[in-house]
């Protein structure tokens, strides 16, 4: 009987090893919604970012009404969301009404964004402030960062300047407050740039010195690669991601960008570019 128990114990021990290593096997399912909107799913967490909008200034990809309804009603795969994040309040990232109705309908979902975005949404939806228990405001100064733990997800927000757009020598985006986020899902470090160009990264590094946070998957505005391989080399040298996901690609430029990605992949193979809304890919880290 004693030896039987020992054998049973040994069997249980060995059986538990693959189970344990399975737990440490980190995978991330990435579902493209539109523009810079994504649903991210790790082993136990789900995060939605920049997904609730229905206008694209006539140029950018927009989620379908069906997808927006599924998100609002928390229908799979949009059930059990742990966090909703917003990089900034441009219309191709944020509809005040959609964000408001989503948070109102899903009272257990925390909302991470900056003060300017909260004020903007509240300006359009008077009752928005009534949901303040769900707000997790992170408003770092320009080229600085701020952190919070939200629903057991560590979030670090970076004040990185929204890309500039000049008319009459005036930066039309001077006052647009963009936040880049670094957050951790089941040990996977995810960076989402929002709308920035390479100068924003360089300004941040100039002020703060060497980048120290590990990045597994970097969701990057495609314009960060305007100069191609040189920009890619800079990104690899600074944040050193294991995967890069291209985002904010105009539908009319899809094929041109796909060609560019093909070239960049010769330098860095782990680049993903999801072209159609609800395209999904799982990566193992
Ligand atoms: Zn923008």
Distance between CA 80 and CA 108 in Å, rounded?
9
pLDDT at 1: 53
pLDDT tens-digit readout, 103-152 = 999 999 999 999 999 999 999 999 999 999 999 999 999 999 999 999 99
The answer to whether residue 21 scores a pLDDT higher than 50 is no
Ligand 1: distance of its center to the CA of 162 in Å? 7
pLDDT band at 280 (very low <50, low <70, confident <90, very high): very high
Instruction: Tell me if residue 251 falls in helix, strand or coil.
Output: helix
Between CA 285 and CA 47 the distance in angstroms is: 18
Distance 258 CA to ligand 1 centre (A): 22
pLDDT of residue 5: 55
Residue 163 CA to ligand 1 center (angstroms) comes to: 8
Are the CB atoms for 201 and 224 separated by under 8 Å?
yes
Q: How large is the average pLDDT for residues 43-60?
A: 96
For residue range 65-94, what is the model confidence (pLDDT) as tens digits? Answer: 999 999 999 999 999 999 999 999 999 999
Residue-level pLDDT at 7: 54
The mean pLDDT of the chain is 93
Q: What is the C-alpha to C-alpha distance for residues 222 and 248, in angstroms, rounded to an integer?
A: 6
Distance 84 CA to ligand 1 centre (A): 18
Answer with the residue of higher pLDDT: 14 or 229: 229
What's the sign of the alpha-carbon dihedral 198, 60, 169, 159? negative
In the chain the domains, ranked by start, together with CATH numbers, are 28-284 (3.60.15.10)
What percent of the chain clears pLDDT 90, i.e. is strictly above it?
91
Contact predicate 87/194, CB 8 Å:
yes
216 alpha carbon – ligand 1 mean position (Å): 24
Segments of 111-178 assigned E as strands: 111-113, 135-137, 145-150, 153-159, 166-167, 170-171
**Band (2; pLDDT cuts 50, 70, 90):** low
Task: Determine the distance separating the centroid of ligand 1 and the alpha carbon of 160, expressed in angstroms.
Answer: 12
Q: 89: exposed, middle or buried (C-beta count within 10 Å: 0-12, 13-18, 19+)?
A: buried
pLDDT at 4 over 60: no
pLDDT, residue 208, reads: 96
Q: Which of 59, 67, 124, 74 is nearest to 94 (CA)?
A: 124
Q: How far is the CA of 17 from the centre of ligand 1 (A)?
A: 47
> What predicted TM-score, i.e. pTM, was given to this entire model?
0.91
Predicted pLDDT of residue 191: 98
């Amino acid at each position: 009987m004693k030896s039987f128990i020992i054998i049973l114990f040994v069997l249980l021990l060995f059986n538990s090893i693959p189970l344990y290593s399975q737990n440490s096997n980190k995978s991330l399912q990435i579902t493209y919604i539109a523009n810079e909107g994504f649903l991210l799913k790790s082993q136990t967490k789900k995060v939605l970012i920049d997904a609730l909008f229905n206008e694209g200034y006539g140029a950018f990809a927009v989620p379908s009404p069906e997808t927006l309804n599924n998100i609002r009603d928390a229908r799979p795969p949009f059930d059990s969301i742990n966090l909703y994040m917003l990089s900034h309040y441009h219309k191709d990232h944020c509809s005040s009404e959609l964000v408001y109705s989503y948070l109102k309908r899903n009272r257990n979902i925390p909302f991470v964004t900056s003060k300017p975005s909260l004020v903007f949404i509240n300006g359009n939806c008077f009752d928005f402030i009534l949901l303040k228990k769900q707000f997790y405001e992170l408003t770092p100064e320009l080229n600085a960062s701020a952190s919070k733990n939200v629903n057991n997800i560590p979030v670090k927000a970076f004040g990185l300047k929204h890309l500039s757009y000049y008319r009459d020598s005036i930066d039309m985006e001077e006052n647009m407050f963009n936040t880049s986020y670094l957050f951790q899902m089941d040990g996977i470090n995810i960076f989402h740039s929002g709308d920035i160009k390479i100068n924003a990264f360089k300004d941040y590094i100039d002020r703060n010195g060497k980048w120290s946070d590990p990045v597994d998957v970097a969701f990057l505005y495609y314009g960060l690669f305007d100069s191609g391989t040189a920009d890619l080399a800079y990104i690899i040298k600074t944040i050193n991601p294991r995967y890069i996901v291209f985002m904010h690609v105009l539908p009319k430029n899809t094929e041109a960008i796909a060609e560019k990605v093909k070239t960049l992949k010769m330098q860095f193979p782990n680049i993903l570019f999801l072209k159609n809304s609800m395209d999904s890919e799982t990566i193992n880290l």
